[in-house]
Amino acid sequence: MTEPGLAVIGAGPAGLAATLAAAARGIRVTLIDSATEAGGQFYRQPAPGLGARRPQALHHQWRAWERLRDGLRAHVQAGTVRQVTDHHVWFVERRDTVGFAVHALTGPEQEQPAEIRATAVLLATGGYEKVLPFPGWTLPGVVTAGGAQAMLKGGLVLPGRTAVVAGTGPLLLPVATGLAAAGATVAALVDSADPKSFVRRSRALAGRPVKVAEGAQYAGQLLRHRVRTLLHHTVVAAHGAERLEAVTIAALDRDGRLRQDTRRRLVCDTLAVSHGMLPHTDLADALGCRVDGTDVYVDDEQRTDVPGVWAAGETTGIGGAALSLTEGHIAGRSIAARLAGRAPDPGEWAAAARTRAGLRAFFTAVDSVYVPPAHWAEQVTDGTVVCRCEEVSAGAVREAVRELGAGDLRTVKLLTRAGMGWCQGRVCGPGVAGVAGCAESAGRRPFARPVPLGVLARAGETEDQ
Amino acid sequence: MNPLELVRAEPGPAFTVTLDGREIEALPGQTVAAALWTAGVTSWRTTRGEGRPRGIFCGIGVCFDCLVTVNDRPNQRACLMPLQPGDAIRTQEGTGHDD
């Protein structure tokens, strides 16, 4: 039997780094991604037909991307890596005899099944944005910060002419500067982070000089584009009839409550909003991998607790592209050794392990600074839709808790349908939990995306024995 | 400055698609959502329950807010679907299966 080798799921920084590290050590790799071009969200590329001659104008760390891109091309040409694009993986099946079967959907409507065999699997599925609800957040013109960036990087389009960038997190900086560089007027960058908490974490944050320099660079760009930055402020509401026309923002007090006297209205046609990121853990969860809180558990080699399954990048905890690259690199080396039947020597990647430890510590500090306002849920009016797919209002969620006794997210879901729509609670999960006053719980979704029933029925038929 | 100028884009020839019968231009490689944004359209479906307008939200295929009917197939994610010349986009009402 020929060895199918390693399947890497996700062609972002983590997946690419792992692919190159494993392939360079003689492992046959199949790199599977849902997009048409490698790069993931961070290195999302304009469609080739758009003929961008200077795509780097929309990017950071372009040289790292060039190395990944060129390395991938070389391996694909040499036949050591098979690149599989436009494949939306919905399930990874563990098979005792031949490792794993990766099930994907492909084709123009993503309804044709595809199956890829592998001895080992690396989950590099990345993350997506967390947005907490507020009145008006379903209006067209309100987009996630990362979504605005993805549309800009991939399609070279802007959502409108005048944008407010709001929420909290380091992602707001590249989004605000990116939109401004591409010609949008950015009326304000509104972040709920309290400047005092930066001071309290200054030692941990200053421990990564490269990151400090990156921050300073963004600050310079914000100045140059005359973007007003309002820290310890929050968006209270988005206004408009058929589409966004303005937002109301306000300052926060020491306890994270609105300072009502500071409310003001900003005219804009775009609100790019984000309250942080969440890891994609569906595939790991369905494989039975341990998930701690929101993050897939990995050991020092980036192995999950399921034999043959590794994980790297944002799926193991949000920490940015540099950390994803480092984790992917370590995973690739570990996989190469393990598939060759030997235990790897961690001394071989000591420098990468130090970088990983430093970046994880840095992002722990970052996470404690960039937090949504403590009392954000109080601003969510009863009439505000919290589950966008099923149009469940905050009032209905509160009623389920107060009148019907729902004490956890699952019961809220059963009583209100919040989280039962197309996105399966990925978008509304944190919002519904906050409004209901319940703990956020892991999604526990059997499949990573909607699957046609016919595909599901046929996926059980295995021809190999 | 606009995004195309920023990256010094030299796109392939534009082609025509339709939105509810009206002709709009699209550039090669652009998704349904990108072409609609360029045409100044930010909403292209109404919700099943309250008939509220929706368009792009997450932009990366997670949220399913940007569902649209393309060539008579409802519930396609506008943020993921690349356009081909002659594609017929229709704003989608409700589940998209009612008409």
Tens-digit pLDDT profile for chain A (465 aa)? 456 899 999 999 999 999 999 999 999 999 999 999 999 999 999 999 999 999 999 998 899 999 999 999 999 999 999 999 999 999 999 987 779 999 999 987 788 999 999 999 999 999 999 999 999 999 999 999 999 999 999 999 998 999 999 999 999 999 999 999 999 999 999 999 998 888 888 888 888 888 888 888 999 999 999 999 999 999 999 999 999 999 999 999 999 999 999 999 999 999 999 999 999 999 999 999 999 999 999 999 999 999 999 999 999 999 999 999 999 999 999 999 999 999 999 999 999 999 999 999 999 999 999 999 999 999 999 999 999 999 999 999 999 999 999 999 999 999 999 999 999 999 999 999 999 999 887 778 889 988 888 888 888 676 543
Of B1, B42, B72, which to mutate for an interface test with A (greatest number of A Cβ within 10 Å)? B42
List chain B residues with CB under 8 Å of A144: 57-59, 63
Kindly identify which residue of chain A lies nearest to residue B80, measuring between CA atoms: A35
- Chain B 48-67, residues with CB within 8 Å of chain A CB atoms: 48-50, 52-65, 67
Q: Is B69 on the interface with A (CB under 8 A)?
A: no
Count Cα neighbours of A218 within 13 Å in the Cβ-side half-sphere.
20
Number of helical (H) and strand (E) elements in chain B, helices listed first: 2, 8
Say yes or no for a CB contact (<8 Å) between B61 and A34: yes
Kindly identify which residue of chain A lies nearest to residue B44, measuring between CA atoms: A140
Q: Is A127 on the interface with B (CB under 8 A)?
A: no
The terminus-to-terminus CA distance of chain A in angstroms comes to 12
What DSSP state is assigned to residue A229? E
What DSSP state is assigned to residue B13? P
List chain A residues with CB under 8 Å of B31: 154-155
Kindly identify which residue of chain A lies nearest to residue B7, measuring between CA atoms: A54
Say yes or no for a CB contact (<8 Å) between A51 and B9: yes
- Chain A 175-194, residues with CB within 8 Å of chain B CB atoms: 181-183
What DSSP state is assigned to residue B95? T
List chain A residues with CB under 8 Å of B67: 422
What's the CA gap between B6 and A292, in Å, rounded?
A: 42
Task: Report the run of H or E that residue A196 belongs to, with start and end.
Answer: helix A195-200
Kindly identify which residue of chain A lies nearest to residue B62, measuring between CA atoms: A423
Task: Report the run of H or E that residue A120 belongs to, with start and end.
Answer: strand A120-123
Say yes or no for a CB contact (<8 Å) between B37 and A58: no
- pLDDT tens profile A268-287: 999 999 999 999 999 999 99
Kindly identify which residue of chain A lies nearest to residue B71, measuring between CA atoms: A109
Of B32, B47, B63, which to mutate for an interface test with A (greatest number of A Cβ within 10 Å)? B63
Q: Is A104 helix (H, G, I), strand (E, B) or coil?
A: strand
* Contact between residue A103 and residue A92 where contact means Cβ atoms under 8 Å apart: yes
Over its C-alpha atoms, chain B yields an Rg (Å, rounded) of 14
- pLDDT tens profile A103-118: 999 987 788 999 999 9
Which residue in this structure is represented by tokens 């060129």?
Answer: A70
Say yes or no for a CB contact (<8 Å) between B37 and A52: no
Task: Mention every residue, 6+ apart, whose C-beta is less than 8 A from residue A205.
Answer: A198, A211, A212, A362, A365, A366, A369
Which residue in this structure is represented by tokens 């200054």?
Answer: A202
ipTM computed for the complex: 0.97
Task: Mention every residue, 6+ apart, whose C-beta is less than 8 A from residue A342.
Answer: none
Query: Would you put residue A205 in left (φ > 0), alpha (ψ -120 to 50) or beta?
Result: alpha
Instruction: Please state whether beta strands B92-93 and A29-32 pair in parallel, antiparallel, or not at all (unpaired).
Output: unpaired
Kindly identify which residue of chain B lies nearest to residue A57, measuring between CA atoms: B7
